[in-house]
């Protein structure tokens, strides 16, 4: 007979290569806290339902807490032969307290046990991701607030388009992160459903109390279908989807940061602590953090694709394929938390080159729309005004100057509607100030957006703290 804890019907031990191949302990051991917390709740429920004795329950709880202490002290030797975190802990528990340890697994399967652990782990790590999103949002608000009067070129097609406030640009990323926060809040809700009590797939013959376990572990909901409980990985796919979108946002910010700190743009300078040099070229200051975040985005997106492909053809209920859910989400969690944390530091540490940005908007044609708007406000149809403005740009290109360098006489040749006030109308400050429509880039609108961002941050912080307090 096999010596494995499930080996009663087997006459041979598992081949060593197969054992190594199917074991998950090397990565699922990070869920030891969730596994022990779930087992404690399960043991208490078994005792209260009269399924195990109070004495056995007491021995189990003491043994599990002792094992948790050993793991946290680095004194626990994990065994590949025991496959996973569940069997490693149960084996050590049985060795420590005897028969009582063998009663812990009554009325549960590793199928609903691993589902419980993963739900709890994803739930807890989602709260940690929310905290890191808040930290980066706060960094964006702080930097925007400190640079409220900085004007920069706004781009479409990576061509200078219209003058905007640097604060307005940063707050666009705040908006993206706010949607990320809401998505992860949704992930939390889908992870906050308790599967324990589903057994292997069909429930159990024992008179268990699933509501009691849910209350102990602070779950808001309980799966109503045992097949769904052990096979559902939607919350993992949702986490990876939300993580992928978040990383895409960080990748876009990375691309802009890389451009901004290049000599060609020179809009910002990154702190030395967030850059590296070249082993060959002494002058180099490389934006490695931004490049790595941009690169790691593909890794997280890959984990989402892998999980979708893994689940797409699985029949109900549990299949060993589902073990593949762990490594991808563990890596995605680590990557997202690191990327958010390091980016908050980068944003807080970068130096904004106000004069370089101001010079950039003075030496381009991003005020051409404002020249057209000037004529429209004096009664000219927009399409005609657009053509006049385009002609003015063409004239400047031929002369090697900019719109503010044209004389009033030259403007008059294009339209008698031009007056001396055209120069004020096309100054970068006026161009920005006049874009005062809701959500626009004006000084007043940027101030309004900052106030709204701070208000939202306070609400998000409150929610994150409430969720954090619910974790076991």
Residue with tokens 């002290």: 73
CA distance 185 to 123: 10
- The structure tokens listed for 90 are 């149960």
Helix (H) or strand (E) holding 155: strand 151-156
What average pLDDT score do residues 96-121 get?
97
Residue pLDDT, tens place only, 271-314: 999 988 888 888 889 999 999 999 999 999 999 999 999 999 99
Other C-beta atoms lying within 10 Å of the C-beta of residue 433: 16
The DSSP symbol for 276 reads B
CA distance 387 to 403: 14
Query: Is pLDDT above 70 for 5?
Result: no
262 in active site: no
Candidate list 157, 279, 407, 437, residue with the active-site label:
157
Burial pattern 60-96, b for ≥16 Cβ within 10 A else e, equals bbebbeebbeebeeeebebeebbbbbbbbbbebbbeb
Nearest by Cα to 435 from 171, 154, 176, 160 = 154
Candidate list 2, 53, 278, 394, residue with the active-site label:
278
In percent, how much of the chain has pLDDT > 90? 90
**Domains, the chain, ordered by start:** 7-106 (1.10.275.10), 111-145+166-206+221-353+448-469 (1.20.200.10), 360-447 (1.10.40.30)
Query: Is pLDDT above 70 for 162?
Result: yes
What average pLDDT score do residues 161-178 get?
98
CA distance 271 to 342: 12
- pLDDT band at 133; cut points 50, 70, 90: very high
Looking at residue 353, what is its pLDDT? 98
- pLDDT band at 1; cut points 50, 70, 90: very low
Query: Is pLDDT above 90 for 3?
Result: no
**Are 227 and 201 contacting, i.e. CB atoms less than 8 angstroms apart?**
yes
Looking at residue 23, what is its pLDDT? 72
User: Within 13 Å and on the Cβ side, how many CA atoms surround 374?
Assistant: 23
Residue pLDDT, tens place only, 396-449: 999 999 999 999 999 999 999 999 999 999 999 999 999 999 999 999 999 999
Nearest by Cα to 29 from 114, 124, 129, 123 = 114
Average pLDDT, the chain: 94
Residue pLDDT, tens place only, 213-252: 999 999 999 999 999 999 999 999 999 999 999 999 999 9
The DSSP symbol for 168 reads H
157 in active site: yes
- pLDDT band at 24; cut points 50, 70, 90: confident
DSSP one-letter string for 81-146: GG-SHHHHHHHHHHHHHTHHHHTTTTT--HHHHHHHHHHHHHHHHHHHHHHHHHHHHHHHHHHHHH
């Amino acid at each position: 007979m096999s010596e494995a804890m499930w080996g009663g019907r087997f006459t041979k031990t598992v081949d060593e290569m197969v054992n190594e191949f199917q074991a998950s302990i090397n990565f699922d051991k990070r869920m030891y806290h969730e596994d022990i917390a779930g087992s404690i709740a399960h043991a208490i429920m078994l005792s209260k339902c009269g399924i195990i004795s109070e004495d056995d329950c007491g021995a189990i709880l003491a043994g599990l807490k002792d094992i948790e202490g050993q793991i946290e002290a680095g004194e626990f030797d994990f065994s590949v032969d025991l496959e996973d975190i569940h069997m490693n802990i149960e084996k050590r528990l049985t060795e420590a307290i005897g028969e009582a340890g063998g009663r812990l697994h009554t009325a549960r399967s590793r199928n609903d046990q691993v589902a419980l652990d993963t739900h709890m782990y994803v739930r807890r790590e989602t709260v940690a991701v929310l905290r890191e999103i808040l930290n980066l949002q706060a960094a964006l608000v702080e930097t925007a607030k400190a640079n409220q009067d900085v004007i920069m070129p706004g781009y479409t097609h990576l061509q200078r388009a219209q003058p905007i406030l640097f604060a307005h640009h940063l707050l666009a990323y705040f908006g993206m992160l706010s949607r990320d926060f809401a998505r992860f809040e949704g992930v939390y809700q889908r992870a906050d459903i308790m599967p324990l009590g589903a057994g292997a797939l069909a429930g159990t013959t024992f008179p268990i109390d699933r509501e009691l376990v849910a209350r102990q572990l602070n779950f808001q909901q309980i799966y109503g279908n045992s097949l769904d409980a052990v096979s559902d990985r939607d919350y993992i796919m949702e986490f990876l989807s939300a993580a992928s979108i978040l990383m895409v946002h960080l990748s876009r910010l990375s691309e802009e940061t890389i451009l901004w700190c290049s000599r060609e743009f020179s809009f910002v300078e990154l702190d030395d602590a967030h850059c590296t040099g070249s082993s060959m070229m002494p002058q180099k200051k490389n934006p490695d953090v931004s490049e790595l975040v941009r690169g790691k985005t593909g890794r997280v997106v890959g984990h989402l694709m892998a999980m979708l492909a893994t689940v797409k053809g699985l029949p109900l209920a549990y299949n060993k394929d589902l073990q593949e859910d762990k490594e991808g989400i563990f890596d995605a969690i680590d990557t997202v938390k690191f990327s958010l944390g390091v980016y908050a530091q980068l944003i807080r540490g970068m130096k904004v080159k106000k004069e370089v940005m101001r010079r950039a908007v003075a030496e381009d044609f991003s005020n051409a729309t404002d020249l057209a708007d000037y004529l429209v406000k004096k009664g000219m149809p927009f399409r005609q005004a657009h053509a006049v403005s385009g002609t003015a740009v063409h004239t400047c290109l031929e002369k090697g100057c900019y719109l503010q360098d044209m004389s009033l006489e030259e403007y008059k040749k294009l339209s008698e509607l031009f007056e001396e006030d055209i120069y004020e109308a096309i100054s970068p400050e006026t161009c920005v100030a006049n874009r005062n429509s809701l959500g626009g880039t004006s000084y007043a609108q940027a101030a309004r957006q900052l106030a709204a961002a701070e208000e939202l941050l306070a609400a998000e912080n409150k929610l994150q703290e409430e969720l954090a307090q619910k974790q076991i």
